[in-house]
């Protein structure tokens, strides 16, 4: 499995972030993990670090569905409007605490690799990486 340039974790649940970050570090799949707590923060981060300098364009985005300020679907809407980004280079995985059929159907509108229930495990992350060959 090749190393990722970077991973962006977008989730307002601090415990979930801690667990996911620990798993990613233990798997040694990237040197760079950045965490934001809502979609608006993530877009700001992407504009500053990906569009402006290209120092942190994530290969993988782990995106929570339900967050304050800007939820996962609102983030996706704005993310795909950012035409300067090379969207095809980024794999997006939607995260949730429950499998809501309506959310799953909504996620299909976007280029989302898959929809996973939290908490993530090493196996679920490994499956995403092998499925997408990233």
**Residue 72 and residue 66 in contact, taking contact as beta carbons nearer than 8 Å:** yes
From CA 62, how far away is CA 74, in angstroms rounded? 15
Return the ∠ at Cα 77 (arms to 21 and 108), rounded to 5°: 80
* Edge-to-edge strand list for the sheet holding 114-117: 33-36, 7-10, 60-64, 91-96, 114-117
What pLDDT, on a 0 to 100 scale, did the predictor assign at position 134? 56
Q: How confident is the prediction along the chain (134 residues), in pLDDT tens digits per residue?
A: 678 989 999 999 999 999 999 999 999 999 999 999 999 999 999 888 887 665 678 999 999 999 999 999 999 999 988 866 666 778 999 998 877 778 777 777 888 888 888 999 999 999 988 876 65
The residues facing 34 across adjacent strands are 8
CATH of domain 7-126: 3.40.50.2300
The tokens of 59 are what? 């290969």
What pLDDT, on a 0 to 100 scale, did the predictor assign at position 96? 86
What pLDDT, on a 0 to 100 scale, did the predictor assign at position 57? 82
Reported pTM: 0.90
What pLDDT, on a 0 to 100 scale, did the predictor assign at position 97? 82
Give me the helices (H) in the chain, please.
Answer: 14-27, 39-46, 72-79, 101-107, 122-132
What pLDDT, on a 0 to 100 scale, did the predictor assign at position 132? 63
- The alpha carbon of 58 is separated from its chain's Cα centroid by a whole number of angstroms, namely 8
**Residue 66 and residue 38 in contact, taking contact as beta carbons nearer than 8 Å:** no
């Amino acid at each position: 499995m090749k190393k990722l340039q970077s991973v962006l974790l977008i989730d307002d649940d601090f415990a979930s972030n801690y667990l996911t970050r620990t798993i990613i570090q233990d798997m040694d799949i990237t040197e760079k993990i950045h965490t934001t707590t809502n979609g608006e923060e993530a877009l700001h981060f992407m504009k500053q670090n990906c569009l402006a300098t290209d120092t942190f364009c994530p290969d993988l985005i782990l995106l929570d569905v339900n967050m304050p300020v800007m939820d996962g679907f609102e983030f996706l809407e704005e993310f795909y409007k950012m035409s300067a980004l090379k969207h095809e280079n980024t794999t997006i995985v939607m995260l949730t605490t429950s499998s809501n059929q309506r959310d799953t159907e909504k996620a299909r509108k976007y280029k989302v690799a898959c929809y996973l229930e939290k908490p993530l495990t090493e196996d679920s992350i490994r499956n995403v990486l092998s499925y997408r060959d990233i």
